[in-house]
Amino acid sequence: MRKIRLLLIVGFCIMNSILLANTLKDYYHSNYGPVERVVFVFDEQPRYRLREDISSDILSCLVCGKVDAIRSIRVVDNPVITNFTFVPTDAFVGVLINTHNEYRLDTFLLKSGDDYKLVLDIFQHKEPLTPEEAREYAEFYRNVNKYGQALYFENVADSMVIENQRAEIKKLETAKQAAKQAEEEAKKLKEEAEKIPSYPVVSKPAETIEEQPVVSQPAPERISDSDNFLKANLPLSVYEVLEDIYLDKMLMFSIIVVFGVIFIMLIMSLIRKLHKTTKVKQEKPSDSFGTLEFQRVTIRRLLSNGWQIEEIAKELNITTDEVEELGRGIS
């Protein structure tokens, strides 16, 4: 299993006094299925940049003067990442994040009270491998009110379903052709075996007159009763013209059926998208994470996993009072 490294490096400063005021106070992460959200908390607005290194790993550079006590950890049973490694120095702090596979990264900066949060959404794969994974990506984007990306991955999921259906149809056609070819080969072997005489061949005397070779007559073609009737009652040229017309019509009918099926599937997909009810945007702070319903579901899940009120408020970027109000009645 190939590991792809996501490196966050805090770079050298030009004005040391300004950078020393910028502190990496804390970091935390949470898993949302095939998406891992990593958050770094600063006391001042950080400067950062993304670049590719020679091994095609993504490098995120953070400008930071000092760091509070943060230790490296190993992440267990996580489908996206495996561990965090912090490398602090006098001038910068490096953060190494190991992932399982080739990932997809979305990043943005969020103002939260007096702090600044650098948010990294790390997806399990750069492009989803299955329709189910694509729909999980779309669901995550809907929950964070990014409907354009959600619609994109819904279309990706529908396209993958259609491609899978085409692959199955092609597989069935290939198997059918192979079976037909095997049947023809078996039939040919049987006919050749029937031509071999079952009695022993006796060598003829020298004075026997040489027999003339027997020329075998070609076996008549097998045709249906209707073909027999038409061929017997119509001129050969007329029969051949009618046969060509029939084959052309069958080919045209097959093409119409295939395009009809594809057109119906596209129409059904369009109707389903047009009739999807748009979720009413709920009133919430512009810098909070997800809709109110998504926050309630997340609070219920995190409380059941033993999270504290303060940790949940930090995760969802809301106040502890809002956590208690949304989580009221949850055991």
Over pLDDT 90: what percentage of the chain? Answer: 14
Please check the confidence at residue 127 and state whether its pLDDT lies above 70. Answer: yes
CA 113, chain centre distance (Å): 37
Co-location of 10 and 67 in the same domain: yes
- What global pTM score does this model have? 0.49
In sequence order, the 6+-apart residues with CB closer than 8 A to the CB of 159 are none
Check residue 198 and give its pLDDT. Answer: 56
Residue 227 in domain: no
Residue 222 in domain: no
Residue 119 in domain: yes
Q: Is 147 strand, coil or helix?
A: helix
Check residue 72 and give its pLDDT. Answer: 78
Co-location of 148 and 239 in the same domain: no
Residue 21 in domain: yes
Co-location of 120 and 139 in the same domain: no
Co-location of 171 and 72 in the same domain: no
Q: b or e along 29-65 (b: 16 or more beta carbons within 10 Å of the residue's beta carbon)?
A: bbebebbbbbbbbbbbebebeeeeeeeeebebbbbbb
Note the pLDDT tens digit of each residue in 163-200: 999 998 999 999 989 999 998 889 888 888 877 655 55
Co-location of 10 and 69 in the same domain: yes
Check residue 179 and give its pLDDT. Answer: 92
Please check the confidence at residue 146 and state whether its pLDDT lies above 60. Answer: yes
Please check the confidence at residue 52 and state whether its pLDDT lies above 60. Answer: no
Check residue 67 and give its pLDDT. Answer: 67
Please check the confidence at residue 11 and state whether its pLDDT lies above 50. Answer: no
Q: What angle do CA 55, 58, 64 make, to 5 degrees?
A: 125
d(CA 330, CA 56) in angstroms, rounded, equals: 46
Residue 138 in domain: yes
Q: Domain range holding 306?
A: 288-331
Query: With DSSP H G I counted as helix, E B as strand and the rest as coil, what are the percentages for the chain, rounded to 5?
Result: 45, 25, 35
Co-location of 170 and 92 in the same domain: no
Domains: count for the chain: 4
51 near 59, Cβ under 8 Å?
yes
Co-location of 253 and 269 in the same domain: yes
Note the pLDDT tens digit of each residue in 224-262: 556 666 566 666 766 677 777 778 888 888 888 888 889
Co-location of 175 and 156 in the same domain: yes
Co-location of 111 and 24 in the same domain: yes
More confident residue, 330 or 172: 172
Residue 62 in domain: yes
Residue 99 in domain: yes
Note the pLDDT tens digit of each residue in 60-98: 555 566 666 677 788 878 888 887 777 776 666 777 788
Q: Is 306 strand, coil or helix?
A: coil
**Model confidence band, residue 280 (pLDDT cutoffs 50, 70, 90):** very low
Residue 196 in domain: no
**Model confidence band, residue 51 (pLDDT cutoffs 50, 70, 90):** low
Nearest by Cα to 313 from 293, 328, 327, 330: 327
Co-location of 67 and 169 in the same domain: no
25 near 43, Cβ under 8 Å?
yes
Co-location of 139 and 118 in the same domain: no
Please check the confidence at residue 154 and state whether its pLDDT lies above 80. Answer: yes
Question: Which helix (DSSP H) or strand (DSSP E) does residue 197 occupy?
Answer: none
Q: Which of 91, 126, 161 is the last residue of a domain?
A: 126
More confident residue, 171 or 286: 171
In sequence order, the 6+-apart residues with CB closer than 8 A to the CB of 9 are 59, 60, 61, 62, 92, 93, 94, 95
For residues 269-273, give the mean pLDDT.
84
